[in-house]
Chain A
């Protein structure tokens, strides 16, 4: 817990490693607020997916509210992992609470974000703008969690991320992509949600990410108040008299492999042809995967290709990844942002560099807390070496309460550089007390 006496801002981090949902909820709330001298102004709550089978998320939230003062603004969601002052975890619950008198808070939700991302963003933005209408503080920030893509899972067939049959691939491209969102599955369309959100909230510092499970992409949950949702965006808006700090970084390097998108559909999310040849054939060639290897080890190469993110020559700030295969087509996590697609890569060293580059020049005395989003794919790549990130964070900000959560996609931006949704990024948020 840190107490900036001159600004009366207190921030604190909590943790629970209990398995029982109710007990974990109570413990994470208790450990988070125990050192605050004032009730929290807001509470950001995150957990791994495991509580679904150990009491359920409603029970988890009820546990939190057994302890948390009534009416505390709360949002959060499920993440694959998190790192905080206590350690690195891919199971458990963590929270950040901030207490400060000179701020106003409003929370918002937009349901059915994959079915109608524009409406979801609009509803969420309106709730927050209404809630902060009377606020006299000029600096505004917004923390969000959005439902990530969810793979449909059917009996016998299993989860649908790779459809090898050309016929069923065609069905999935032209009908599945439309139908899946109606039943709560399919791509998360977070880039649409964020693009619309920015159009309503251009004066906000925005940071967020996509809720997921343990990387299987089968389910995810968002929390707001005492309610658990899925297929939604939840957000916490804040206007405050302090300066807002937001840093967004990406440390991927371009490979020498690039491909021309010559035919695409579904808003550019499904690529049919690359260099005028079937997209699957071309992407496997670029990845060095033979057709017979792909046939035998589809899931393995799906996971491998996930580590080959892509960007676009015309818009290099955008990144996405190969989400899967529909027959001869490939689908991307986000829509294309240009005609020339460049394959990217990242090394373990570059992941660690993200932390060095972000914190090396910071005066830590200015920060009462640091709240971060780091792509879960990067953490999954590092595995047990994730503790190197923790050591780096401790090197720079050990005395500051910090919480880094690991969603599957991230979004961040400022009034000067509007927020975008992308993958494999690192984003950090704080308030400056000096």
Chain B
């Protein structure tokens, strides 16, 4: 995982103060996590409930990603969980942020992260095809 370029991109995103946790995941499975410090401590207290809710959301993503579902989010206690779906897959970039964060600015960097990860995925696919 340490040499995974996607993990490096997630490391970058996690450096933002308001990103408390981020990952590339699908239902019941975290595909890639940041390689560095891990999640910020404040989110660990409610991680179990967030994880369960997140898995339920992935059920919806699985059912509708082929239909063009691009983003989802929910608010749980003092946190919001954002899902940026990778087109035509059941995978999403997931981030947990404080509920009262300046979400618009965070979303810009989430979108940049999604684009970077997509690029890496496409490059990987090209390499495999060759």
Contacts and interface: CB of A to CB of B under 8 A. Distances in A.
Contacts of A303: 100
B111 A215 contact: no
Contacts, number: 57
A50 B18 CA distance: 12
B29 interface: no
Interface string A79-92: 01100000111110
Interface in A300-338: 300, 303
Interface in A349-382: 376, 379-382
Interface residues of A, number: 25
Contact of B108 (A50, A299, A383): A383
SS of B interface (majority):
helix
B103 interface: yes
Interface string A166-199: 0000000000000000000000000000000000
Contacts of A381: 104
Contacts of B71: 384
B104 A214 contact: no
Contact of B109 (A19, A89, A215, A300): A89
A424 B41 CA distance: 37
Contact of A81 (B15, B18, B105): B105
Contacts of B12: 17, 19
B116 to A, nearest CB: 10
A386 B100 contact: no
B102 A384 contact: no
A387 B111 contact: yes
B89 interface: no
A379 B107 CA distance: 10
Given A299-B100, A380-B103, A380-B104, 16 more contacts: A17-B12, A19-B12, A80-B105, A90-B105, A90-B108, A91-B109, A214-B18, A214-B105, A215-B105, A376-B105, A379-B105, A379-B108, A381-B104, A382-B104, A383-B108, A384-B84
3 closest A-B pairs (Cβ-Cβ)?
A380-B104, A383-B107, A215-B102
